């Protein structure tokens, strides 16, 4: 109540009812979320504009579970795409439209497989799909003749993936931290310089692996290998100069008793001399 001379004027205050307070709070929260969403889209637009100039788009650590809008518009331009550390369960077939890609990073997502459409990325040189839940690899990857490095570590792969054999430019294949039990005869067609199979469940190695024309580093640490499972041919007649087998079902000093060990040590020592 306000006094004005001899008269008093009563002012009516329109305070919200108790039930309305919750509605107001909810509306404010919705508005806040919309603002955040707009800010996020604005951030993506800025990334897109930069990507148009550089050919590189990094969308890591954004909690994405599906392709962002307008990403496909960049397919004729991108050479590097980083979608790591998100929440993707699958990658859509539209990835096959990014035919200029040279580097694709999908690590630390929730993928259980890779799409067949990846086979269309014939200019791809680097593929990183580590730290997912991948169980199977599509045969279409055998078409990626320009691949140089593939990282599929920390997944759930149970069989050695033969689709990477006959890729003549593939230097490094990382299959560590999977569930592979056998290195098959087909692995002889690999052209890699380094093959990483650490922390699998391997108990059998084909002696044909010694026929790999470029293989120099073979990593087999922390598997299920008996001493007798190490093929003499790999020690005696291969080009392997670094053989890592620590953490298997034998003591490392026993390795020196195997036929061909001296031949292996000659190669190992020669490489060490070159490094120093």
* Digit-coded pLDDT (tens) for 65-117: 998 878 999 999 999 999 999 999 999 999 999 999 999 999 999 999 999 99
4-8, 29-33, 163-167, 212-216: range with lowest mean pLDDT: 29-33
State residue 68's pLDDT score: 85
Q: Which CATH architecture has domain 56-275?
A: Alpha-Beta Horseshoe (3.80)
Q: CA 111, CA 108: separation in Å to the nearest integer?
A: 9
Q: Mean per-residue pLDDT for 11-23?
A: 45
Residue 57 β-bridge partners = 81
Q: CA 51, CA 98: separation in Å to the nearest integer?
A: 13
48: confidence class by pLDDT, cuts 50, 70, 90: confident
- pLDDT, tens only, 132-185: 999 999 999 999 999 999 999 999 999 999 999 999 999 999 999 999 999 999
User: Structure pTM?
Assistant: 0.84
* 203-209, long-range: CB < 8 A, 24+ apart: 203/229, 204/229, 205/229, 205/230, 205/231, 205/234, 206/182, 206/231, 207/231, 207/232, 207/233, 207/234, 209/183, 209/234, 209/238
Please say if the pLDDT value at position 23 is more than 60. no
């Amino acid at each position: 109540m306000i006094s004005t001379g001899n008269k008093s004027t009563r002012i009516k205050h329109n305070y919200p009812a108790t039930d309305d307070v919750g509605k107001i709070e909810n509306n404010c929260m919705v508005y806040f979320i919309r603002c955040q969403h707009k800010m996020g889209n604005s951030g993506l637009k800025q990334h897109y504009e930069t990507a148009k100039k550089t050919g590189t788009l990094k969308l890591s650590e954004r909690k994405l579970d599906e392709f962002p809008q307008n990403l496909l518009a960049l397919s004729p331009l991108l050479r590097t795409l980083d979608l790591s550390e998100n929440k993707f369960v699958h990658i859509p077939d539209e990835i096959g439209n990014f035919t200029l890609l040279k580097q694709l990073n999908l690590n630390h997502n929730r993928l259980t497989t890779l799409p067949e459409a990846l086979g269309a990325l014939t200019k791809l040189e680097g593929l990183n799909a580590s730290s997912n839940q991948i169980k199977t690899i599509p045969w279409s990857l055998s078409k990626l003749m320009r691949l140089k490095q593939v990282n599929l570590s920390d997944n759930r792969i149970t069989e050695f993936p033969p689709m990477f054999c006959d890729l003549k430019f593939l230097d490094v294949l990382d299959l560590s931290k999977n569930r592979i039990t056998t290195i098959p005869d087909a692995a002889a067609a690999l052209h890699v310089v380094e093959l990483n199979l650490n922390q699998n469940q391997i108990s059998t190695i084909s002696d044909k692996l010694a026929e790999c024309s470029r293989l120099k580093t073979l990593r087999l640490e922390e598997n299920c290998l008996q001493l007798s499972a190490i093929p003499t041919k790999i020690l005696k007649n291969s080009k392997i100069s670094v053989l890592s087998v620590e953490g298997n079902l034998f003591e490392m000093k026993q390795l020196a008793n195997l036929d061909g060990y001296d031949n292996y040590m000659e190669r190992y020592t020669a490489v060490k001399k070159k490094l120093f």
